[in-house]
A and B are shown apart, each in its own frame.
Chain A
Amino acid sequence: MLFPFRGFERDLSMKRKIILNRLLISLGTIFLIVTISFILVNLMPGDPLVNIMGDDQYYRVKYSDPELLEEIAKKYGLDGSLGERYVKYLGNILRLDFGFSFTRNRSVLDIVLYRLRWTLVLAVPATILSALFGALLGIRAGWYQNGLLDRIMTPLTLVLNTIPTNCTAILFLTLFSYKLRLFPISGMASGGLTGGAYIRDVMWHMCLPLSVMVLSRTCSNFIHMKSYVIQVKGEEYILTAVAKGVPKTKVLFRHVLKNALLPYVTILCMQFGHIVSGSVMIEVVFSWVGMGNVMNTAISASDFPIMQMCFLLTAVCMVVSSILADVLYVLLDPRIKEV
């Protein structure tokens, strides 16, 4: 029994009940993730004080003035038992106080929101473009199976799909930026620009990382969409429709596409779930200072507050995307309404 408030059930429509049910489960999931990420981060090897103070000062103080070390630990909220710190952490989250970065001398919220913005600049168009390209090409290749497009795209996307994104990224960087000098080596902007020039400059900088992301995701989307279309195309109701003389375009859009879109939506929602953390390697290769980059450096530097907020954000994104998939399913699939 997933929905605990039986008294309200009668008053709610089935759709609303399902969605509310999912929301409650999601809240529980987020709470669990917050707890697990707190424990994992705090059990990671390495004393964060070493990163806060620097090697030299840490060891000098550790042996010559251990009380001072305790004071510093207290200042950064690293004193007390794990349980005490956990309770404090939960309270802070409720107040949206994610603390102060150990290594960057700034509020964690400021740092993460700034980085998030840049990740979204890259990830949102990449997700949309790859969803469109993957769907259009996949439908076409699936509908005209063994056609020219299918025969070219299927082996190509299968090969590209097996190459790790960071390898493609390095290849693109070396070829287009280093050898051909068409794009900048790294970063998100040249600096000192405003207005339209700034926007064009950012777009110029995002060309390569965006291309790599779009390429990689489109390959995967194409393969999925093609197989869904082929699968649906083989159903008996499609045969019936064709036999009844329904025009091919109508069969494709009314019957095939509508059914093939359901699993495709799930794939897209999962991609949306990875929107925050899915471009870590690409961000690192192209020096794109987004969430991937900040997570990478926070882990290296044992910057607990940043790590915790990044994990929380990633988890929230996953949960939200899961809810989104559920809601879209409810809206798109008439069978669910009847459950």
Chain B
Amino acid sequence: MKKTYLNVLALLLAALMILSGCSAKPAPAPSEPATTPAEASTPAESTPAPEPAESTEPKHVEVLRIGTTSTNDTFNLTTQGGSFGVMNYNSFVAGLFWERDEFGKPQPGAIKDYSISDDNLSITIYLPENLYWHDGKQVTSDDIIFTFEYARDVLLSSRLKDIVLTRDGDYQATITFPEGDSAFAYVNGQTSWLKIYPKHIWENVADNKEYMGEDRVIGCGPYRFVSVDEDAQLATYEAVENYWKGEILVDKVTVKSYASQEAQIMALRNNEIDAIYNYSGPISATLFPTLEGDPNCDLGISPDPGNYMIMFGYNEAPTNDYPFRKAVTLALDYDLFGQTIYGKYYNIPTKGVIPTPNMGYNSSLPEMTYDPEAAKAVLEEAGYVDVDGDGYREDPQGQPLNVLITPQNNKSRAELLTRIAAVIADNLDKIGVKTTLDEESLTSREAWSARSENGGTYQIYIGYCTSGIASYIGAPMYIVNYTETGWWGTWQDPAYMDAYNKVRASSSFEEYEASMLELQEVIAEQLPAVSFAFGTSSFPYRTDKLDGWINFPGWGVINPKTWYTTYSK
């Protein structure tokens, strides 16, 4: 009897061990508006009271809860680290000079307006007279001058090395670039990134990164920083009263940091957050099934301005040979690549490389086609035949051919890049082209650097054009051999260089668009690169309580317009 009793006691102990941590759920603090998961599961509590029928004004959002994978640990206006840094790309706490709209065009951010001189060398910035720093001081042209000086001297922007700054009045300043530069390109390139810095705070700070003063989070954007709870990885912001740009509908914003996209998705479904925002980090296609069919969530799918692509090496045979490049482009199974990279949400790419949502997308160019037989014929005609009968082709001189596939060295994308490389190898194997994966470049940044940078020696290079780069110069920047950027392009064909430089020298959107169209014609003709698929980005959000979301292509529903358009249902 005693033994049985002890056995039962021991089994109870075992059960207790499994449930060791299970304590009662704590009561939510009155000050914390975010609901707990358990509370969120109760429909009556998660559904807001119906709005009175007579009200036509959009109802303010009390708290917008954003989930991100960036950490809540770096709060400093002059750096881009952590969730604070990436949230500022959305004209948040920082007042941006220029923010991008849903069509990809730069618009004035915290500034009233700007103009570019006829010679495309000067930018004049006009400030509103009622723009204030969050500590109450007025934003003036002194802050504009200071910002450019600070960006040049402290933040070490080489692009600003030779600028001339002019104070045109209390609320107006002009930046003049040296001959040969393009003010339009600067605006386009700095949109979403360039912030106004408060002179009165930063002028005496020697090392901006190490500065820990409380005023390091003072900006002039529509939101002011309130607090951060590092334990909870939760940052809180509140809207600035009477902000000069108009009525802010989202009164308060919380940004919670999650360790993974999986956790973000679960939190969204469990109503812990309202929307997901990851800079340049859309939700992986493998997670789509988790949200599909949920009536309260939208996947937030939008066409992706960025894309994965092959860049052919200009300096190496056989990729410097047009027929070989053409054969490769015919041998690629674009459907398989689309599924590999984007799940079911993709389109077959065109020969112009630049995806659909980008400014200057050339819709007149033909789609890529998968035709291995045509690829074989092209190779046969160009002299790439199997001389020794081993099943693989030799080059036109009869020498063995073994094409190196070099993926970009990128830790977060390594797995996908390896999968893409495997599909390329399989596709080329089918047309008798032997390939080798450049594993060294995949694992060692130094090896990859030596292979790809500054006029690289790769043959087939797999790279990714981020949506950020895509929005202002796009995939062609990764193709061109342009030592100023240090990127991995090798292409030096004169016709391509001319067309590329024309894009760079554009002084207006019209010119930019026209020259982009022309550049894509050259790309279609020369095939220096080929896109695997025109895909989509997913930044999911909840639809049950809030409305008025605007989904920016490749960016998501958290963007510079969110604060003014999102409202409670």
CB proximity to B under 8 Å, residues A61-79:
61-65, 68, 72
- The interface centre, meaning the residue of A58, A190, A197 with most chain B CB atoms within 10 A of its CB, is A190
Which 8 A/B pairs are nearest by Cβ-Cβ distance? A191-B232, A59-B486, A207-B21, A200-B26, A287-B259, A191-B234, A210-B21, A192-B32
Distance in Å from the Cβ of A170 to the closest Cβ of chain B?
8
Does B267 make an interface contact (CB < 8 A)?
Answer: yes
6 A-B pairs (CB sep. < 8 Å): A57-B157, A133-B17, A191-B256, A200-B24, A202-B231, A211-B19
Q: Digit string of A96-126 for contact with B (CB within 8 Å is 1, else 0)?
A: 0000100111100001001000100000000
Q: Which of B26, B73, B157, B446 contacts A201 (CB 8 A)?
A: B26
Instruction: Judge whether B158 is part of the interface by a CB distance below 8 angstroms.
Output: yes
Q: Is the CB of A186 within 8 A of B259?
A: yes
| Contact call A144/B3, Cβ cutoff below 8 A | yes
**Chain A residue nearest in CB terms to B6:** A140
Interface hits, B58-82 → A, CB 8 Å: 71, 73-74, 76, 79-82
CB pair B81–A105 under 8 Å, yes or no, is yes
A103 to B76, CA, bound (A): 12
Q: Are B74 and A189 in contact (CB under 8 A)?
A: no
A153–B21 Cα distance when bound, in Å, is 20
Q: Which applies to chain B's interface (DSSP): helix, strand, loop or mixed?
A: loop
In the complex, the answer to whether B232 meets A190 with C-beta atoms within 8 Å is yes
Q: What residue in chain B is nearest A139 (Cβ atoms)?
A: B10
Q: Which residues of A contact B454 (CB under 8 A)?
A: 63
> Which of A45, A50, A193 is close to B444, meaning CB atoms less than 8 Å apart?
A45
Let me know if A264 is at the binding interface, CB within 8 A: no
B13 at the interface (CB under 8 A from A): yes
Flag if B7 contacts A178 (CB, 8 Å): no
Within 8 Å of chain A (Cβ to Cβ): is B272? yes
- A110's nearest neighbour on chain B, judged by CB, is B212
Contacting residues, chain A, for B31 (C-beta < 8 A): 192
> Does A149 lie at the interface of the complex (its beta carbon under 8 Å from any beta carbon of B)?
yes
A23 at the interface (CB under 8 A from B): no
Given contacts A136-B13, A178-B270, contact A61 B156 (CB under 8 A): yes
CB contacts (< 8 Å) of B38 on chain A: these are 181-182
Chain B: minimal CB distance from A124 (Å): 13
Least Cβ–Cβ distance between A193 and chain B, in angstroms: 5
* Residue in contact with A60 in the complex, picked from B37, B230, B443, B486, CB distance below 8 Å: B486
Determine if A104 and B73 form an interchain contact, defined as CB atoms under 8 angstroms apart: yes
Q: Is the CB of A64 within 8 A of B21?
A: no
Shortest C-beta distance, B113 to chain A (Å), equals: 27
Chain B residues within an 8 Å CB radius of A210: 20-21
Is B229 part of the binding interface, using a Cβ–Cβ cutoff of 8 Å? yes
Interchain CB contact under 8 A, A60 and B158: yes
Assess whether B485 is in contact with A59, with CB atoms less than 8 Å apart: yes
Complex contacts, B487 vs chain A, CB 8 Å: 59
User: Is A211's CB under 8 angstroms from B486's CB?
Assistant: no
> Are the C-beta atoms of B485 and A60 separated by less than 8 Å?
yes
Say whether A203 faces chain B, with CB atoms less than 8 Å apart: yes
Does residue A86 face the partner (Cβ distance < 8 Å to B)?
no
Residues of B within 8 A of A (CB): 3-4, 6-7, 10-11, 13-14, 16-29, 31-32, 34, 36-38, 40-41, 71, 73-74, 76, 79-82, 156-159, 209-210, 212, 229-234, 236, 254, 256-260, 263, 266-267, 269-270, 272, 411, 443-446, 449, 453-454, 483-487
Contacts of A114 in B (CB 8 A): 230
Give the chain A neighbours of B270 by CB distance below 8 A. 177-178, 181, 185
Residue in A closest to B7 when the chains form the complex, CB atoms: A148
Chain B minimum-CB-distance residue to A192: B32
Given contacts A63-B484, A181-B37, A200-B24, 9 further A-B contacts (CB under 8 A): A63-B483, A133-B14, A137-B10, A147-B7, A152-B14, A192-B236, A197-B27, A289-B230, A300-B411
Do A211 and B22 touch (CB < 8 A)? yes
The answer, yes or no, to whether A293 is at the interface (CB within 8 Å) is yes
Which residue of the partner chain B has the closest CB to A102? B209
Q: Which residues of B contact A61 (CB under 8 A)?
A: 156, 158
Tell me if A187 is interfacial: C-beta within 8 Å of chain B.
yes
Q: Residues 24-47 of chain A: 1 if any B CB is under 8 Å from the residue's CB, otherwise 0?
A: 000000000000000000000111
Q: Is the CB of B484 within 8 A of A64?
A: yes
Task: Closest B residue to A301 by CB, please name it.
Answer: B411
A45-B443, A60-B158, A190-B29 as given contacts; A185 in contact with B266, CB under 8 Å: yes
Known: A105-B81, A197-B26. A147 touches B21 (CB 8 A): no
- Docked complex Cα distance between A208 and B17 (Å): 12
A149 touches B11 (CB 8 A): yes
With A63-B454, A190-B28 already in contact, the answer to whether A177 and B266 are too (CB < 8 A) is yes
Contact A287–B232 (Cβ < 8 Å)? no
Contact of A197 among B11, B29, B445 (CB under 8 A): B29
The reply to whether A100 and B210 contact each other, CB–CB distance below 8 Å, is: yes
Provide the residues of chain A in CB contact with B82, threshold 8 Å.
104
Chain A, range 258-297, C-beta contacts under 8 Å to B: 284-287, 289, 293, 297
Partner of A200, one of B23, B37, B232: B23
Residue A329 is within 8 A (CB to CB) of chain B in the complex: no
Contact A46 B25 (CB under 8 A): no
